[in-house]
Amino acid sequence: MKLVRYGRMGKEKPGLIDQELKLRDLSGIIDDIGPEQLSAKSLSRLSKIKADSLPLVRGKPRFGVPVAQVGKFIGIGLNYSDHAAEAGMPVPSEPIVFMKATSSLSGPDDPVVLPRDSKKSDWEVELGVVIGTKAQYVSQKDALQYVAGYCIVNDVSEREFQLERGSQWDKGKGCDTFGPVGPWLVTADEIIQPQRLDLWLDLNGERVQTGNTRTMIFSVAKLVSYVSRFMTLMPGDIITTGTPPGVGMGMKPQRFLRAGDEMTLGIDGLGMQRQKVIT
């Protein structure tokens, strides 16, 4: 299933994308798409609904973050060896874990707002993993059983804030609007092999990032297992799993976001995002 939340910011309704990629209203069935709706039992119940029995939503409403009440927004750094090389950093021996503020969450097509004093804001297309079942000290072998589904994340990052103003990455990662997620939450049954997904990002119509999740250093299963050793993962938590090469920081000369830029990005089977950059 492709689950969405649509409508004005803060007033989103639950929806479903049918096989013809048309939006159907789920608000007569569930109140929202949040932690309670992400369990295997709840998703199984939703999957039995015939999409054509649901009301068709006319027009092109805004899509919000496809999961409500996100408790933790967890980032993984340098998870592609070629991205580590372009950043001039060693390939990590263990996953690099940081937190993106939940206040950075935004819809997939909402504007990205450059923060005050930003000099080096950058783009990062990433595979997002949404937890569906409480996970604590889970094995790598069993880890994917705790995943409700997958989505696109643009891990927008202010590099000066991240790397030049102390040792903590969080302040360069958690700025308002720096976490576009969606458009859809695609349930795990539709993404049988999360390590075989093409991902890409265009800046102003120019392809700057191309990659495939098979080149991740640490797989989705490894990351879920690893992170669950340090914090309990709860339904609705999002892990964003790292980016392939092609970010502005790695270009020669370096290139960073400016007001008026447009980012377009996508992942196989997970849809597409588009954001205008504003101040």
87 vs 198: CA distance, rounded Å: 21
- Where is pLDDT greater, at 167 or 256? 256
Residue range 241-270: mean pLDDT, rounded: 97
Mean predicted confidence (pLDDT) in 230-239:
98
Strand partners, 147: 131
User: Per-residue confidence at 90, pLDDT binned at 50, 70, 90?
Assistant: confident
Residue 247 has pLDDT above 90, yes or no: yes
Averaged confidence pLDDT in the chain: 96
Lowest-pLDDT range of 60-69, 126-135, 163-172, 235-244: 163-172
The predicted-structure confidence for 165-177, as pLDDT tens digits, reads as follows 888 899 999 999 9
- Domains of the chain by residue range: 2-53, 73-278
| Proportion of the chain above pLDDT 70, given as a percent | 100
Band of residue 85 on the pLDDT scale cut at 50, 70, 90: confident
* Cα torsion angle, 151, 156, 159, 163, sign: negative
For 201, residues 6+ apart whose C-beta sits below 8 A from its C-beta are 123, 124, 125, 154, 207, 208, 209, 246, 263, 264, 265
pLDDT of 120 > 90? The answer is yes
User: Rounded CA gap, 175 and 165, in Å?
Assistant: 15
The CATH code that applies to domain 73-278 is 3.90.850.10
pLDDT tens for each residue of 15-42: 999 999 999 999 999 999 999 999 999 9
89: pLDDT confidence band, cut at 50, 70 and 90?
Answer: confident
SS3 195: coil
pLDDT at 33: 98
Residues 130 and 151: beta-carbon distance below 8 Å: yes
pLDDT in tens, 133-160: 999 999 999 999 999 999 999 999 999 9
In 116-160, where do the E strands start and end? 121-122, 125-131, 147-154, 157-158
pLDDT confidence bin for 75, thresholds 50/70/90: very high
What span, in angstroms and rounded, lies between the C-alpha atoms of 225 and 147? 11
Q: Give the mean model confidence (pLDDT) for residues 231-257.
A: 97
Average pLDDT over residues 90-119: 96
Q: With 90 as the cut, is the pLDDT of residue 43 above it?
A: yes
Q: What is the mean pLDDT of residues 122-132?
A: 98
